[in-house]
Amino acid sequence: MRQSRLRSAALVLLAAALPAYAAETGIAAIDAQWIKAVKAGDADAAAGLYANDAILWIPGAPMAKGAKAIHDAYQGWLSATTIQDVKLTLLGGSTKGAESVGWGTFSITSAPKSGGATTTEVGRYTEVGKRVGGKWVYVVDHASDDPAPTPGK
């Protein structure tokens, strides 16, 4: 009887912990750290979320391939821009073992550090991640702006 209660209690605790664990694995784990890094204006932290041979495509910029190019892209962006808010809406994805993919939409509200109007950029993204040495990192991070509305539609 006592063992049955202990097993039941253990199963309840495990069931309660699984959603929290799932939220902190794969792409979701990287995305949470990325939001924190860019809102803090920390190019080192943002770039540190990528594999050494990763590829980054961001709107309005050429492909950044490898650790140095990705760091330089973030350094350029975050040194000129204050990120006020970031919303990532994961529309789909999958994590299997040490690999994870995700896709969704984004909204980034920012202001130029030199002064000027606050803007909100919206678009979509696709990401591929992997676990390296116990840490989740991006392998491919591809974001693009939503296209301008078609006149008359």
**DSSP codes joined into one string, 91-102:** EEEEEETTEEEE
Q: Which of 65, 107, 67 is nearest to 87 (CA)?
A: 107
7/72: higher pLDDT: 72
**What dihedral do alpha carbons 52, 55, 57, 61 form, nearest 10°?**
70
Judge: domain 22-145, CATH 3.90.1150.10.
Answer: no
pLDDT for 23: 42
pLDDT tens per residue across span 14-44: 333 334 343 468 999 999 999 999 999 999 9
Q: Which of 51, 50, 34, 32 is nearest to 42 (CA)?
A: 34
Q: Which residue has the tokens 């919206």?
A: 122
Segment 84-112 shows an average pLDDT of 97
pLDDT for 153: 66
Q: Where in the chain are the domains?
A: 22-145
**Model confidence at 12, in pLDDT bands (50, 70, 90)?**
very low
pLDDT for 112: 97
Answer whether 78's CB lies under 8 Å from 84's CB: no
Answer whether 37's CB lies under 8 Å from 56's CB: no
The Cα–Cα gap between 66 and 9 comes to 47
Answer whether 56's CB lies under 8 Å from 70's CB: yes
pLDDT at 6 over 50: no
pLDDT for 149: 80
Segment 69-91 shows an average pLDDT of 97
pLDDT at 59 over 70: yes
pLDDT for 150: 79
pTM higher than 0.85: no
